[in-house]
Amino acid sequence: MYVVSYLWHGLALTDLQELKIPLGLYLALAGMVYLVIGLALTIGTHKAVQYEYLSLKGPFPLTAALLGAALGFFVYLVIFVLGMTFTKHGMMHVVADIVWQMFEQGIGGLAVSLGIIWDMHKRFLEQERAN
Protein backbone atom coordinates (compact mmCIF):
# COMPACT_ATOMS: atom_id res chain seq x y z
CA MET A 1 0.00 0.00 0.00
CA TYR A 2 2.91 2.31 0.84
CA VAL A 3 4.58 1.85 -2.54
CA VAL A 4 1.27 2.16 -4.38
CA SER A 5 0.58 5.39 -2.48
CA TYR A 6 3.99 6.77 -3.44
CA LEU A 7 3.36 5.90 -7.08
CA TRP A 8 -0.01 7.67 -7.00
CA HIS A 9 0.94 10.81 -5.11
CA GLY A 10 4.54 11.06 -6.22
CA LEU A 11 4.48 10.05 -9.86
CA ALA A 12 0.91 10.20 -11.14
CA LEU A 13 -0.27 13.37 -9.40
CA THR A 14 3.04 15.00 -8.39
CA ASP A 15 1.46 15.92 -5.02
CA LEU A 16 4.72 15.27 -3.20
CA GLN A 17 6.31 18.28 -4.90
CA GLU A 18 3.84 20.54 -3.05
CA LEU A 19 4.71 19.27 0.44
CA LYS A 20 5.31 21.84 3.15
CA ILE A 21 7.41 19.42 5.23
CA PRO A 22 10.63 17.62 4.22
CA LEU A 23 10.07 14.61 1.94
CA GLY A 24 11.97 12.27 4.27
CA LEU A 25 9.77 13.19 7.22
CA TYR A 26 6.64 12.73 5.11
CA LEU A 27 7.79 9.30 3.92
CA ALA A 28 8.65 8.21 7.48
CA LEU A 29 5.30 9.39 8.85
CA ALA A 30 3.42 7.86 5.91
CA GLY A 31 5.25 4.58 6.54
CA MET A 32 4.11 4.55 10.15
CA VAL A 33 0.53 5.37 9.14
CA TYR A 34 0.49 2.56 6.58
CA LEU A 35 1.81 0.14 9.20
CA VAL A 36 -1.10 1.09 11.47
CA ILE A 37 -3.60 0.79 8.60
CA GLY A 38 -2.15 -2.59 7.62
CA LEU A 39 -2.28 -3.78 11.23
CA ALA A 40 -5.90 -2.66 11.56
CA LEU A 41 -6.79 -4.39 8.31
CA THR A 42 -5.02 -7.59 9.33
CA ILE A 43 -6.61 -7.70 12.79
CA GLY A 44 -10.02 -6.81 11.37
CA THR A 45 -9.82 -9.53 8.74
CA HIS A 46 -8.65 -12.13 11.28
CA LYS A 47 -11.48 -11.21 13.66
CA ALA A 48 -14.03 -11.30 10.83
CA VAL A 49 -12.88 -14.80 9.91
CA GLN A 50 -12.78 -15.87 13.56
CA TYR A 51 -16.35 -14.73 14.23
CA GLU A 52 -17.47 -16.00 10.80
CA TYR A 53 -18.43 -12.60 9.40
CA LEU A 54 -16.18 -13.53 6.46
CA SER A 55 -16.40 -17.02 5.06
CA LEU A 56 -13.39 -18.85 3.72
CA LYS A 57 -15.71 -20.96 1.56
CA GLY A 58 -16.73 -18.16 -0.80
CA PRO A 59 -14.64 -15.60 -2.64
CA PHE A 60 -12.57 -14.76 0.45
CA PRO A 61 -9.91 -12.63 -1.31
CA LEU A 62 -12.59 -10.50 -2.98
CA THR A 63 -14.46 -10.05 0.29
CA ALA A 64 -11.26 -9.07 2.10
CA ALA A 65 -10.48 -6.59 -0.70
CA LEU A 66 -13.94 -5.08 -0.21
CA LEU A 67 -13.25 -4.85 3.53
CA GLY A 68 -10.01 -3.04 2.68
CA ALA A 69 -11.87 -0.69 0.34
CA ALA A 70 -14.36 0.15 3.11
CA LEU A 71 -11.44 0.87 5.43
CA GLY A 72 -9.90 3.04 2.72
CA PHE A 73 -13.11 5.06 2.44
CA PHE A 74 -13.21 5.55 6.21
CA VAL A 75 -9.52 6.54 6.34
CA TYR A 76 -10.00 9.08 3.57
CA LEU A 77 -13.02 10.59 5.32
CA VAL A 78 -10.98 11.06 8.49
CA ILE A 79 -8.09 12.57 6.53
CA PHE A 80 -10.44 14.87 4.60
CA VAL A 81 -12.26 16.07 7.72
CA LEU A 82 -8.96 16.80 9.47
CA GLY A 83 -7.76 18.74 6.43
CA MET A 84 -4.69 16.57 5.83
CA THR A 85 -5.34 15.97 2.17
CA PHE A 86 -3.46 16.91 -0.97
CA THR A 87 -6.74 17.90 -2.59
CA LYS A 88 -6.76 21.52 -3.71
CA HIS A 89 -7.91 21.05 -7.26
CA GLY A 90 -11.68 20.78 -6.91
CA MET A 91 -14.29 18.11 -6.43
CA MET A 92 -13.03 15.91 -9.27
CA HIS A 93 -9.70 15.53 -7.49
CA VAL A 94 -11.51 14.63 -4.23
CA VAL A 95 -13.53 11.92 -5.97
CA ALA A 96 -10.43 10.56 -7.70
CA ASP A 97 -8.58 10.49 -4.36
CA ILE A 98 -11.44 8.66 -2.61
CA VAL A 99 -11.61 6.06 -5.36
CA TRP A 100 -7.83 5.69 -5.32
CA GLN A 101 -7.73 5.32 -1.52
CA MET A 102 -10.39 2.62 -1.72
CA PHE A 103 -8.44 0.84 -4.48
CA GLU A 104 -5.20 1.13 -2.53
CA GLN A 105 -6.66 -0.29 0.68
CA GLY A 106 -8.49 -2.93 -1.37
CA ILE A 107 -5.06 -4.07 -2.59
CA GLY A 108 -4.05 -4.22 1.08
CA GLY A 109 -7.11 -6.33 1.91
CA LEU A 110 -6.27 -8.67 -0.95
CA ALA A 111 -2.69 -8.99 0.31
CA VAL A 112 -3.93 -9.75 3.83
CA SER A 113 -6.32 -12.42 2.53
CA LEU A 114 -3.59 -14.06 0.48
CA GLY A 115 -1.34 -14.01 3.55
CA ILE A 116 -4.04 -15.71 5.61
CA ILE A 117 -4.57 -18.33 2.90
CA TRP A 118 -0.81 -18.95 2.67
CA ASP A 119 -0.53 -19.27 6.46
CA MET A 120 -3.46 -21.70 6.61
CA HIS A 121 -1.96 -23.75 3.78
CA LYS A 122 1.43 -23.82 5.50
CA ARG A 123 -0.15 -24.96 8.78
CA PHE A 124 -2.14 -27.65 6.95
CA LEU A 125 1.03 -28.99 5.33
CA GLU A 126 2.83 -29.00 8.68
CA GLN A 127 0.00 -30.97 10.26
CA GLU A 128 0.00 -33.44 7.36
CA ARG A 129 3.74 -34.00 7.78
CA ALA A 130 3.27 -34.58 11.53
CA ASN A 131 0.73 -37.36 10.87
Residue 22 resides in a domain? no
pLDDT at 89: 65
Query: Contact 95/107 with Cβ under 8 angstroms?
Result: no
Give the pLDDT confidence of 28-62 residue by residue, as tens digits: 998 999 999 999 999 999 999 999 888 888 899 99
- According to the per-residue pLDDT averaged within each range, which of 16-25, 43-52, 81-90 is highest? 43-52
Residue 19 resides in a domain? no
Structural domain count of the chain: 1
Residue 2 resides in a domain? no
Residue 24 resides in a domain? no
Confirm whether pTM is higher than 0.85.
Answer: no
Residue 95 resides in a domain? yes
Task: Please count the helices (runs of H) and the strands (runs of E) in the chain.
Answer: 4, 0
CA distance 124 to 75: 35
Give the pLDDT confidence of 96-116 residue by residue, as tens digits: 888 988 999 999 999 999 999
**Three-state DSSP state, 31:** helix
90 lies in which domain range?
38-130
